[in-house]
Every structure is written in structure tokens, then in C-alpha cells.
Amino acid sequence: MTSRDDQDRLVALLAPYRTHTAIAAADPEGDVAQELRTMIIDTPRPGTAPDVPQRRPSPWRRRLLIAVPAAAALTAGAFGATMLLPPADPGTAPIPVPVGPAPAQALEITEDGDYVEVRVVDPLADTERFTEELAAAGYDIELSLAPVEPSSVGTIVFMETGDVGGGRSIEIIEAPGECGSEYGGGIGPCDVGLRIPEEFDSYAHVVFGRAATAEEGGEGAPEGAEGFESDANPGDAPIVTPEQREVLNSLYGMTLGEARETVESHGWTYELRGMFDAENEAIEAGEVTDDWYVNDVATLAGGVVLLWVNEEDQHG
């Protein structure tokens, strides 16, 4: 009774249904549906949206490449920073933005027709400075940058916009290059700022991922740096030190029993996830056995290792 067909039949029986035939609402050619269609199609499409198929990351995984050379940040001991756009052509040099003392402004805010364009000038500025400068420009936008893993640099790790009533919303400014990673929404053009409609009066919260300084656990991190064991970098992409990365990489293909031993020997804790479980749902330890395989690994702040496990070794 639990064959596939039986299951589908049972689930189909659970579907709610309406007691009357809602012809007017259900007919795509009916008045109600056509009115909605007209209202939608009268809504201006984002000006930069292409009309041809193109790989595009999820809005929550947009990219902004902001690389912070760890050495410069350390030696300056302050906010010396460089933003780099990857070269349009792999053999050419990146486009540098001046390295030096902290800029007078954290953001570059310029006007372009009936849009305002915002680019981050000082990736290490306090979040309050971004928000203050956007507020001074008349926008209720909370913008921040969080240190993330190299594979997540240039990724928006959080984005939320309020209701714009069918009007224009915030767009992302793109620049030629190859940003992101195959596992973080795909490799594609770099997004380097926000393009905000002049009339935008809603709320937005945007968090860009940026490269971590050595102090935060990025490249050049001192031995024993806290990395993802720290609670200071909450979010879904905490920093992992090179030492920690080496251990985490070794978990791929291990049996769950081996992985558990390794994780615990470093004083970390772990949570189990179903393989390729996009919903990020935890599975209970009792649902799996120690001979299952680790197929993917991720981290959460506070020294938590997420292990995606499967009966088969599929990590490839």
C-alpha cells in the first residue's frame, strides 16, 4: 500500500479543494485573470534585465567582489583596503581602487538619471556608517558587509526588500568578471553595488560577503585563530581558517563514524543534514548509521559542522 502510486494517491486525497467551480477566477482568459495580467505587464521591468536566457544567481546569492588584502589591513592597522574587480579578461590586471587611509566616505553615492547608484568604498567601515550615509541620501536601507569564506566573497548573504507596491525596486550593479563559486549559486558577473530607484521609499536590508582579514581568520590567519569557532561572525558562511579547512576537507568521503570522531577531536559539534537537502532540514542521528558517507560539509558559527550524509559515497 506504500508503493509510489499508492503514496501519490494518498497525498492527492489530502489536497484541499473548493466547493464551487470558480470559473471566473480560474480561467486565464477570464476577466479577473486578464485584469491581473494587464496590471502585471504594465509594471516596468527592471531596466537591466536581459530578454535572452542567461544564468543568473538567486537574488539572495547575488555577487559583489570586494577583496581585502589581509597584509595591507594588518600593516595599516586600520581600515586600509582595496576593492578589486576581477579582470574582464583573465590575463589582464584587476582594476584597483586606491589603497590608503580610510576614505572620507564609506559609500560612493552618485546619481544616474532617476536612479541613485551606491558602491562600497570602504569595506571595513562600520555598518552604522553605511546606514548613516544612505539615510543622508534619503533611504531606509541597512547595508553591511560580513567576512565570509573565499568561495562566498562577492555573494549577498542576506537580502530583504520591503513592499514597493508593484513599483521599481533595488537592482544590483554588475561588472564584468567571474565571481562566486560553482557551489555558491554559480560563477558569473560580479555585482558591485546597488542601483536604487529615486522614488524608492521602502525598506531594505542587504549584507554582502567580503574577504576576511587575517585577524578574522582569513588568509594569513595566525595559528590557532578561532575561525568558525568564534561566535563573532554569525551567519551561514563563517570564516574558516586554513588549518580548519584542511580538517573539514578531510571529512568528505569519510563514514559518519569516522567524521564524528574527527569533529569531536577538535572540540566541534556537528549537525546532520540529508544529502542535497535544499531546505536545510536537520535529520536525526537515529535515522542514519555510522556507515553512511559524508558527501558535503559546511560550517556554522560557534564551531558547528554541518554534515550532509548519504548511504552512498557521492561526493565525487
Of these, 8, 199, 264, 290, which contacts other proteins (CB under 8 A)? 8
Q: Return d(Cα 175, Cα 157) in angstroms, integer.
A: 19
* Calpha distance 129→140 (Å, rounded): 13
Q: Count residues binding other proteins (CB under 8 A).
A: 60
Q: Are residues 181 and 153 in contact, defined by beta-carbon separation less than 8 angstroms?
A: no
What is the β-pairing status of strands 203-211 and 140-148? parallel
Q: Does 102 bind other proteins (CB under 8 A)?
A: no
Does the protein bind other proteins through residue 285 (CB under 8 A)? no
User: By C-beta, is 7 or 105 nearer to other proteins?
Assistant: 7
Site for other proteins in 23-42 (CB under 8 A): 23-29, 32-33, 35-37, 39-41
For the beta carbon of residue 204, count every other beta carbon within 10 angstroms. Answer: 20
Stretch near other proteins under the rule CB under 8 A, chosen from 19-27, 120-128, 239-247, 255-263: 19-27
Among 7-15, 120-128, 174-182, 217-225, the segment contacting other proteins (CB under 8 A)? 7-15
Q: Does 18 bind other proteins (CB under 8 A)?
A: yes
Q: How far is the CB of 127 from other proteins (least distance, A)?
A: 21
Determine which residue in the list 131, 161, 201, 307 makes contact with other proteins, applying CB under 8 A.
Answer: 161
State yes or no: residue 52 binds other proteins (CB under 8 A). Answer: yes
Is residue 20 classed as helix, strand or coil in its secondary structure? coil
165 forms part of the interface with other proteins (CB under 8 A) = yes
* Residue number, 41 or 93, with CB nearest to other proteins: 41
Least distance between other proteins and beta carbon 239 (Å)? 26
- Asked whether position 286 contacts other proteins by CB under 8 A, the answer is no
| Torsional sign, CA 4, 8, 9, 13 | positive
Of the candidates 212, 237, 236, 240, the residue with the CA atom closest to the CA atom of residue 226 = 240
Q: Give the residue, chosen from 160, 261, 290, 291, that forms a contact with other proteins under the rule CB under 8 A.
A: 160
Question: Residue 20, exposed/middle/buried by CB under 10 A (0-12, 13-18, 19+)?
Answer: exposed
DSSP 63: B
Of 92, 69, 90, the closest CA to residue 79 belongs to 69
Instruction: Kindly report the backbone phi and psi dihedral angles of residue 104, in degrees, each rounded to the nearest multiple of 5, phi listed first.
Output: -65, -30
Give dist(CA 293, CA 308) in Å, integer. 8
Which residues contact other proteins by CB under 8 A?
Answer: 1-2, 4, 6-29, 32-33, 35-37, 39-41, 43, 45-46, 49-54, 56, 58, 160-163, 165-166, 274-279, 281, 310
